[in-house]
Amino acid sequence: MLLHIKNMVCGRCIMVVRQQLENLGLQVLEISLGTVKISPDPTEGQLHLISSSLNVLGFELLTKEKNQLIERIKNVVIELVHHSDLISLNESIMNVVSKRLNKDQAYLSRLFSDSQGVTIERYIIQQKVERVKELLLYGELTLNEISYEMGYSSNAHLSNQFKSITGLTPSQFKGLNKQVRLSLDKV
């Protein structure tokens, strides 16, 4: 059985969900951001137990197909922005999302906007800004290097998007004594 789980946004989430399901006596056959294939197929009672145990850890078992699709959109965006090389991406993130989910871009955009109150494009920008914050805090790359790595056409483009989301320029953010980053499931 394939389970769809909300708020799985990183490798540690995968590890925690795997451990939780195995503690419940289930065999994890495959696991990735947002999905887990388990065996044997759980009963209704076991599904309720799975749901409860995941909720305690900040995850949510998704049963409605539209909610599953929205979570899959988020997971593809997070994977692309935070765990892949945007420099080598030869097409827009939205094109990749559409291809991976085998769904029309207009349909995905409408579904996402109606459910989340923000466009997929805005969500992508929010994720990119969170990644830029992370890179700024590491202090290992210049703004030019971050701009290039994140696939921006210029520093000005990055700075404008950063300021539209945070209200600060990247330099102002880096100069704060207390930097504020959001966990990826809160973006």
134 and 124 together in one domain:
yes
pLDDT for residue 65 is more than 70? yes
79 and 58 together in one domain:
no
| pTM, two decimal places | 0.78
Binned at pLDDT 50, 70 and 90, residue 93 comes out as very high
d(CA 108, CA 87): 24
26 and 82 together in one domain:
no
CB 136 within 8 A of CB 146: yes
Number of domains in the chain: 2
79 and 151 together in one domain:
yes
- Neighbouring C-beta atoms of residue 64, cutoff 10 Å: 9
Q: Report, as an integer, the average pLDDT of 3-22.
A: 92
Here the CATH number for the domain that contains residue 138 is 1.10.10.60
Collect all residues with Cβ–Cβ distance below 8 Å to 2 and sequence separation of at least 6: 35, 36, 37
Average pLDDT, the chain: 90
24: containing domain: 2-63
Please give the pLDDT value at position 186.
Answer: 67
pLDDT for residue 157 is more than 70? yes
Binned at pLDDT 50, 70 and 90, residue 161 comes out as very high
Here the CATH number for the domain that contains residue 53 is 3.30.70
pLDDT for residue 89 is more than 70? yes
Please give the pLDDT value at position 144.
Answer: 92
